[in-house]
Amino acid sequence: MEALVAEPGVEGKESKTPTEAVAQVLASSKFLQNIGLVPATKKSSNGSDPTRMAELEAELESEKQNSLEVRAQLNALKKKLV
């Protein structure tokens, strides 16, 4: 942070104030997120992670299969009761 304040300003701009330097450093770290002052950013689910999408699709397929099996068992039990 001290280096940011001591840095000479770019043409037409003044050097950073201590407040600006702190804001820049904290924005680039996870400190505020870790202490709970800033919520963690969520990853967008726009399909950019094919591995995660494949995992979710496999999980969904597995749950569908389990659901079909439970439904078949339920139907079998219903038939026994009738």
CA 71, distance to chain mean position in Å, is: 35
Q: Is 0.85 surpassed by the pTM of this model?
A: no
Cβ neighbours of 1 (radius 10 Å): 14
* Residue 60, domain member (yes or no): yes
Same domain, 27 and 53: no
Higher-pLDDT residue of 69 and 22 is 69
Same domain, 1 and 35: yes
Domain that holds residue 66: 49-82
* Residue 26, domain member (yes or no): yes
Predicted confidence (pLDDT) at residue 59 exceeds the cutoff of 90: yes
Residue 4 contacts by C-beta under 8 Å, 6 or more apart in sequence? 16, 20, 21, 24, 25
Q: Which residue has the tokens 């300003």?
A: 9
Same domain, 31 and 54: no
In tens, the pLDDT along 1-57 reads: 567 667 665 665 677 777 777 777 776 677 777 777 766 665 555 656 788 888 899
